[in-house]
Structure 1
Amino acid sequence: MFNLTPVVRVLLIINVLVFFVTNESIIDQFGLHSFLSDKFNPIQLLTHMFLHGGFGHIFSNMIGLIVFGPMLETFWGPKRFTFFYFFCGLGAALLFSGINYFEMHDVYETIQAYRANPGFEPFSGFIDQHASAYYDRLLPFIEQFKQFPNDSKNIQDSIAIANRIFTNQVDEPMVGASGAIFGVIMGFGLLFPNTQLFLLFPPIPVKAKYLVLFYGAFELYSGVYRAQADNVAHFAHIGGMLFAFILVKYWGSQRKTFY
């Protein structure tokens, strides 16, 4: 059904094998952590691309790889396709990590200010701005703190909660080959823009360039307006597409050198 090329086949096999041996400890050690986390290790910029959070996650990524990857590998050859795949994956990780650092550093600065001047109003503001996903779980404490805002135990507990929220957020690993796969999709759309693809939902044909445009617009919108509970690394997807665009255009400008 699928004409798998050599590199695509190897990537598929590695991802599937790793998926079956993956556990929480492996994800915690090799998933990509925030630059602000004590758990961050530079090797995670590479290893996170071979880890997935569930069957649906790896299935969607591997379908993208085997549908769009073989034509790119055939067009460029194994070496160039391999470079492209990891270039997009690493670029996606760097963009995601950079934006994550900016967001988490803002949380860190807010917590530092709260430690210096704790109280119910600034605590409530911190939860609303940076931790709304925790609101329901914290509601009993919030009500208690509101009723007794000057209680020293409530104040110390609020500081501990703020610290724990920050730690949980920076220690949450990002995993998946999605950045590289979105790069592959972008590369396919740029090189074969008028290729007709038949969608499953809805079952209609669409040109590759329009599919890429839709993916890009959706991920940009989701990255900017997503809820904290989304749990999808949209900026990693955008990063993969952005770095794919840059590399394909660069190679195109060097056509006389490579073709």
Structure 2
Amino acid sequence: MIPIQDIVPRKTFPIVTVSLIALNSLIFILMLNLPAQVREAIVINFGVVPARITQFGLGDAGVALQNVISLFTAMFLHGGWIHLFGNMWTLWIFGDNVEDRMGHRRFLVFYLLCGIAATLVHVWLHPDSTIPMIGASGAISGVLGAYYGLFPLARVIVMIPIFFFPFFFEMPAVLYIGWWYLLQLFSGTLSILHGKIVGGVAWWAHVGGFVVGLLLHRLFCVGENCFPDEVRPWGVSYNLGEKINR
């Protein structure tokens, strides 16, 4: 299932969400113009390598600083167009409404905190991995967790390709995001049983980011606007591409 859009009005322009999408895209495009060896060096040095954290810890000041910096920089690196587009599309669909409820600055802090927490969960469960972890998936999983808590009954329009034909359906966010979470949990469990990362995806970073986002999102919501679940009543018609701004 591919999410196409949600039907939740927002009151403010999502400046942080748009800025994050722009920054991630710009970094990816700039890296495309670099030689392959330079791109590989950037990923190794600015991505999160679990073994580098668990083996060196805080013993060496230089390595410790690199590890701390990589917790932030890894969130802005992506391994390909599909990786980038999938993350940024999900952030655009769900991030604007979460930002609207939290406010711009609190949303940015929340996003970064979820990303760091998700990374640490991955490191904890794969302490000996020497494969660099990159991508915004952990932080965006936290945004999904917040959306799940704030808008469980909001409708999400999804596309399911069947025999190369696209079919569109709508479902409550609680079902779509719940299905997504169970898929991450199942794949993450397989990675533990197999002793390696399945499909080259940091599944437990997704699980960790989601749980942290779900548990902490209320701490970043202040005021009455954070609590109402503003959704359009079921049965009201809509047009694909419509997004209500108020």
Match of 2:143 in 1: 184
Counterpart residue type for residue 248 of structure 1: H
Cα displacement string for residues 136-186 of structure 1 (whole angstroms, at most 9, x for unaligned residues): xxxxxxxxxxxxxxxxxxxxxxxxxxxxxxxxxx33100000001111112
Is 1:37–1:171's contact at 8 Å kept on the other side of the alignment? Answer: no
2:198 pairs with 1:172: no
2:241 pairs with 1:225: no
CA distance in structure 2 between the partners assigned to 1:87 and 1:199 by the alignment: 28
Runs of 4+ more than 4 Å apart: 1-4, 37-40, 249-252
Counterpart residue type for residue 240 of structure 1: G
Give, in angstroms, the shift of residue 41 of structure 1: 2.1
Please show how residues 128-143 of structure 1 align to structure 2 within 5 Å.
Answer: none
CA distance in structure 2 between the partners assigned to 1:255 and 1:20 by the alignment: 39
Please show how residues 10-49 of structure 1 align to structure 2 within 5 Å.
Answer: 10-22=19-31, 23-34=39-50, 35-36=53-54, 41-49=67-75
Give, in angstroms, the shift of residue 90 of structure 1: 0.7
Cα displacement string for residues 109-162 of structure 1 (whole angstroms, at most 9, x for unaligned residues): xxxxxxxxxxxxxxxxxxxxxxxxxxxxxxxxxxxxxxxxxxxxxxxxxxxxxx
Is 1:92–1:239's contact at 8 Å kept on the other side of the alignment? Answer: yes
Structure 1 residue corresponding to 2:122, chosen from 83, 96, 103: 96
Question: What is the TM-score with the length of structure 1 in the denominator?
Answer: 0.67
Report the 3-state secondary structure (helix = DSSP H, G, I; strand = E; otherwise coil) of the residue aligned with 1:205.
Answer: strand
Task: State, as a whole percentage, how many aligned pairs show the same letter.
Answer: 32
Structure 1 residues 249 and 72 mapped into 2: Cα distance closer, same or farther (>3 Å)?
closer
* Number of residues of Structure 1 aligned to a counterpart in Structure 2: 190
CA distance in structure 2 between the partners assigned to 1:251 and 1:10 by the alignment: 19
Structure 2 residue corresponding to 1:9, chosen from 5, 15, 18: 18
Is 1:92–1:238's contact at 8 Å kept on the other side of the alignment? Answer: yes
CA distance in structure 1 between the partners assigned to 2:220 and 2:112 by the alignment: 16
Match of 2:171 in 1: 206
Larger radius of gyration: 1
2:181 pairs with 1:216: yes
Match of 1:59 in 2: 85
Match of 2:113 in 1: 87
Match of 2:96 in 1: 70
Structure 1 residues 14 and 251 mapped into 2: Cα distance closer, same or farther (>3 Å)?
closer
Give, in angstroms, the shift of residue 255 of structure 1: 6.5
Superposed CA RMSD in Å reads 2.5
Is 1:69–1:184's contact at 8 Å kept on the other side of the alignment? Answer: yes
- Could you tell which deviates more after superposition, 49-58 or 226-235? 226-235
Counterpart residue type for residue 67 of structure 1: I
Cα displacement string for residues 65-115 of structure 1 (whole angstroms, at most 9, x for unaligned residues): 1111111111111011111111110110111111111xx2xxxxxxxxxxx
Is 1:30–1:43's contact at 8 Å kept on the other side of the alignment? Answer: yes
Counterpart residue type for residue 212 of structure 2: F
